[in-house]
Structure 1
């Protein structure tokens, strides 16, 4: 993963499929936060819908295939949001011998 200081990747791409980046503060970052939140809510709804079909013993094969599509899309969206948020986490400092000693003493 390439680290870009002061920028965050947006949850959408350009028209030609390239990743888009913006400053971490500002209007577009707020829009990106809202988009990620919306994606998570859609994931929850897709999972509820798929589980409803799976629990319904009268569901036909077509409905179960649709449930699999819901779960596939939900998984893709959840992975994207996790990756985006992971990219914004601060980099971990490498553990040194003194850090390991401090952990053992605790």
Structure 2
């Protein structure tokens, strides 16, 4: 049986997993649908953010709200990617985490 990371957490914040080999079970379809909603929400939030930043200079409150919502959307997108990645065949550690940290250090933290 395969374990699938679900796109929701338990009441105490721990990850929830589904043990199944079926991609057609009710919970698998529910998880697929929720992942699609989460990714769609992230896309719409990104469009809104780009539009807002292009039209005006947002207030501090608007920026804080945008950062909070973008953080939530990024958390959801990472969870979807991890869930889908865990279902792919393992090919070994390619050092992607170290490369990501290097990019962040170089491009974002100046």
Give runs of aligned pairs for residues 60-75 of structure 1, distance below 5 A.
Answer: 60-75=59-74
Which residue of structure 1 aligns with residue 77 of structure 2?
A: 78
CA contact (8 A) 1:50 1:70 kept: no
Q: Within 1, Cα distance between the matches of 2:63 and 2:15?
A: 34
1:87 and 2:86 matched: yes
Gaps of 5+ in 1: 94-106
Which residue of structure 2 aligns with residue 54 of structure 1?
A: 53
1:14 and 2:13 matched: no
| TM-score normalised by L of structure 2 | 0.69
Q: Within 2, Cα distance between the matches of 1:37 and 1:24?
A: 21
Residues matched between the structures, number? 90
Q: Within 2, Cα distance between the matches of 1:21 and 1:85?
A: 12
- How far did residue 35 of structure 1 move? 0.8
Gaps of 5+ in 2: 93-110
Q: Within 1, Cα distance between the matches of 2:59 and 2:21?
A: 47
Q: Within 1, Cα distance between the matches of 2:6 and 2:54?
A: 36
- How far did residue 39 of structure 1 move? 0.6
CA contact (8 A) 2:41 2:73 kept: yes
Which one has a bigger Cα radius of gyration?
Answer: 1
- The answer to which of 5-14 and 74-83 deviates more is 5-14
- How far did residue 78 of structure 1 move? 1.3
